[in-house]
Structure 1
Amino acid sequence: MSILRGVLFNLYLFWITLFMGVGTIPIRLMKNQDLALSYAKFWARAVLFGFTRICSVRIEISGQDNLPPGPLLIASQHQSFFDGFIWMTLVDRPDYIIKTELTRIPVVGPMLRLTGMISVDRKAGSKALRTMMQDAKSAHDANRQIIIFPEGTRTLPGERHPIQPGIVALARQANVPVVPVATDSGLFWDRHPWLKRPGVVHVVIGQPLPPRQERRAFTEGLESAWDELCTTHALPRDPVDNSVDPGKI
């Protein structure tokens, strides 16, 4: 059933992206960022609607009262593509920090640029960090909520990678709430493109951390916040690899 769900959802995702991709043409011609962002948020809702219905998944959000209005820096764990959609539905003006390669995807890439997402060229070294800092300042000045995945890559549920320096630099630059977020999305939206599992996806939003801390204090505080959120909500704290699960295929 996991394979069947995955196939059906991927077909849904392909066709809805193709259909809505046609709708991006006039928006791209108008070069209207606000309209592009609203359209992207609608597309994200449509994708998650299909995910929940086709894959028998329920999304449970905890701690939304920890998201104050105005500019934010949201430091989220990243386990699946789900994490790239959900924040489009949870905050007013989301602004993801993404890798530059995503902006080169046909149809999707131009919309990512038009909506103002902050792209980072990982090969550019210190120049990329400076550009990201400038773009992040502009985003916060525009009252946007920046979503960053501090480990810099997708992880298995319960797995940890070192926190990258970008989140520390952003937290020290911007005097805005830094909100830790834990999730178990990787248990249900697998790395394997054809596997989707039923169940309850948890997105757990913690209390804001103090901004502008020394690097070690900040990274330890963020990791401790993730640990506490995982413990409190019974999320995996040890690596769980479900990518090969013959018994449920």
Structure 2
Amino acid sequence: MFNYIKFAITQIVGFIFSLIPLSIFKSSPDKYSQEDKSRFLNLHAKKSLKRVKINLDIKGRENIPDEPALFVANHSSMLDGFILMASIEKPFGCVIADEPVWRNIPIVRKWASLVKCVYMNRENNREGMKSIIKAAENIKNGQYMAIFPEGDLTWVKDNSAIISDFKAGALKIAYKAKCPIVPVAIKNSKDTYEGYQPYGKINSKDVCVEFLKPVVEHIENPRCKTIELAEKIRCSMIESIVN
């Protein structure tokens, strides 16, 4: 519980201090790049993980293309968002579940808007498609995006799975943007956080994040089925985790 208290205090202090750069960025949006806006969150995520001794071993950064892409990551821990933010040096926005707990935190909501995060309605297909189109537009406009295509924590969906089945529709973002997909295998994060709520027990662990080679099959062959591509990507990520 002590780790959680340290982590929570880091969030409170960090986001209070973030009000100054947040105000500056919002008052002069054209003066600052997405790199400038994302740098604060990247450093904050690194500091938060370091405070609770979650050490990252990042591999395969050379596989991140210079052109905007869709990062696809597995999701075993409530801390995976922080792990992803600390691992990706490029400016990126996340596709986030459209839940009140994420939409209603004032400072978090403002930062999410600033870095072009997109809320995904998982209950309404029409609204979900609007989110997919918006995320694709962000990529076309030069912004990297990231998504956890399992749609929930791995162990919540299937406690026996290394990575649970993907919601293949998530890949439509890359189809519409005609951008590469970069699979991101997050290894050993499950035990970093015990619980399924914004509060829980945080454990100090070593976590490996590996960026796999970009996938471009859907660009070369737009008729490639999302279900088949999703399963191929999922299997490559499992192979990375197992090996």
Query: Normalising by structure 1, what TM-score?
Result: 0.78
Deviation (angstroms), 1:12: 1.8
Letter in 2 for 1:229: S
- Report the AA paired with residue 205 of structure 1: F
Aligned residues between the structures: 221
In the alignment, which of 197, 209, 218 is matched to residue 215 of structure 2? Answer: 209
Deviation, structure 1 residue 219 = 1.9
Contact 2:93/2:146 (CA < 8 Å) preserved in 1?
yes
One-letter code of the match for 1:142?
A: N
**Alpha-carbon distance between aligned partners in 2 of 1:15 and 1:231, rounded to the nearest angstrom:** 35
Instruction: Find the aligned partners of 1:73 and 1:185 in 2 and give their Cα distance.
Output: 21
Change beyond 3 A, Cα 1:220–1:14: closer
Name the residue aligned to 1:224: 235
Q: Distance in 2 between matches of 1:148 and 1:61?
A: 18
Quote the RMSD (CA, aligned, Å). 2.3
Counterpart selection for 2:62 from 56, 61, 65: 65
Match of 1:200 among 174, 198, 206: 206
Counterpart of 2:2 in structure 1 is 8
Q: Please show how residues 131-146 of structure 1 align to structure 2 within 5 Å.
A: 131-146=130-145
Q: Secondary structure at the match of 1:98?
A: strand
Deviations 1:123-156 (A, max 9, x none): 3322222x22332223213322211111111113
Residue 41 of structure 1 aligns to a residue in which SS?
helix
Match of 2:41 in 1: 40
Q: Does residue 125 of structure 1 match 2:125?
A: yes
Kindly provide the amino acid, as one letter, of the partner of residue 197 in structure 1. Answer: N
Q: Distance in 2 between matches of 1:204 and 1:40?
A: 20
Secondary structure of 1:122's counterpart equals: coil
- Structure 1 gaps of 5+ residues are 1-6, 233-249
What residue number does 2:176 align with?
173
| Residue 111 (structure 1) shift | 1.8
Which residue in the other structure is 2:185 paired with? 182
Counterpart Cα distance in 2 of 1:218 and 1:182: 16
For normalisation by structure 2, the TM-score amounts to 0.80
Distance in 2 (CA, whole Å) between partners of 1:187 and 1:13 is 16
The aligned counterpart of 1:51 is 52
8 A contact 1:66–1:207 mirrored in 2? yes
Once the 2 structures are TM-superposed, how far is the Cα of residue 170 of structure 1 from its aligned partner?
1.5
Question: Could you tell me how far apart the structure 2 residues matched to 1:8 and 1:198 are?
Answer: 11
Q: Paired residue for 1:244?
A: none
Residue matched to 1:82: 79
SS in 1 for 2:76: coil
| C-alpha distance in 2 between matches for 1:58 and 1:18 | 21
Moved more, 195-204 or 95-104: 195-204
CA distance in 2, matches of 1:163, 1:169: 12
